[in-house]
């Protein structure tokens, strides 16, 4: 069951959404109740070699992982 990141196009709020099914998405923004939501590219951690988290695993856009490494590692 994955977490997805969404952005509300009405107020700009960014939030995580826990989906029980891949096709499930939030109906409204938790901040303003807006219905215009966009799924965002999320940060993630990659495992390489001996199982250590790679510092090269960062978001392709570079917008959510400042400095080139994911803060979730």
pLDDT for the residue 64:
54
Domain contains 68: no
Contact call for residues 47 and 10 (beta carbons, < 8 A):
no
For residue 11, the enclosing domain spans: 1-61
Q: What is the mean pLDDT of residues 8-13?
A: 95
- How large is the C-alpha radius of gyration of the chain? 14
pLDDT for the residue 41:
73
Question: Tell me: the pLDDT tens digits for 29-42?
Answer: 999 999 999 998 76
pLDDT for the residue 55:
41
> Residue 28 maps to which CATH number?
2.20.28
Check whether 5 has a pLDDT greater than 50: yes
Per-residue confidence band for 2, with pLDDT thresholds at 50, 70 and 90: confident
Domain contains 17: yes
Domain contains 4: yes
Domain contains 1: yes
How many distinct structural domains can be found in the chain? 1
């Amino acid at each position: 069951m994955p977490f997805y990141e969404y952005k509300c196009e009405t107020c700009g709020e960014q939030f995580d959404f826990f989906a029980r099914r891949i096709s499930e998405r939030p109906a409204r923004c938790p901040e303003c109740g807006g219905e215009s939501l966009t799924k965002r590219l999320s940060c993630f951690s990659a495992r390489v070699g001996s199982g250590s988290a790679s510092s090269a695993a960062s978001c392709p856009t570079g917008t959510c992982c400042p400095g080139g490494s994911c803060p979730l590692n």
